[in-house]
Amino acid sequence: MLRLTSRQKTGNQAERMAEQIMRQAGLSCLARNHRCRQGELDLVMRDGDTVVFVEVRYRQQSRWGSAAESVGRSKQQRVIRAAEHFLLTHPRLANRPCRFDVIAAEGNPADPSSYTWIREAFTC
């Protein structure tokens, strides 16, 4: 059995909290931690007819930049490629509008007020 590191546990906690925040806003979850050769999607949500690909970032401190700032162009490209793969493997969703959101958290991962939801954080 694999043991999770403290960092992995905190990351999982942040992803669960992000999903909860989005569900409370009326979105539904289509997938969690979708992995493929192209990259990983933390969350895939549905907002009405729109498929929302979500990158969740957590930083305990902003010493080296904020959580949102850590989603640079390289990471955005990996998320976009993973989203393309997801849509290829889920053809019923392929013609729906899509967007890329970031949920960034800093400080206490258990505190919902430490989360910022950035809708349409980047485009392809």
Q: Is the pLDDT of residue 29 over 70?
A: yes
Which structural domains are found in the chain, ordered by start? 36-66+80-124 (3.40.1350.10)
pLDDT-derived band at 1 (thresholds 50, 70, 90) equals: low
How much is the pLDDT for 8?
Answer: 82
CA dist., res. 108 & res. 101, Å (int): 21
pLDDT exceeds cutoff 70 at 25: yes
pTM: 0.91
What is the pLDDT at residue 26?
98
Q: What digits encode the pLDDT tens for the residues 72-90? A: 999 999 999 999 999 999 9
Joined together, the tokens standing for residue 3 give: 């043991």
Distance CA 73, CA 49 (A): 27
Spatial separation of the C-alpha atoms in residues 124 and 117, rounded to whole Å: 19
pLDDT at position 62 is: 67
Gyration radius from the chain CA atoms: 14
List, in order, residues 6 or more apart from 123 with CB less than 8 Å away: 100
Q: Which residues of 61-95 are buried (b: 16+ CB within 10 A; e: fewer)?
A: eeeeeebbebbeeeebeebbebbbbbbeeeeeeee
Q: What are the backbone dihedrals phi and psi of residue 95, each rounded to the nearest 5 degrees, phi first?
A: -100, 10
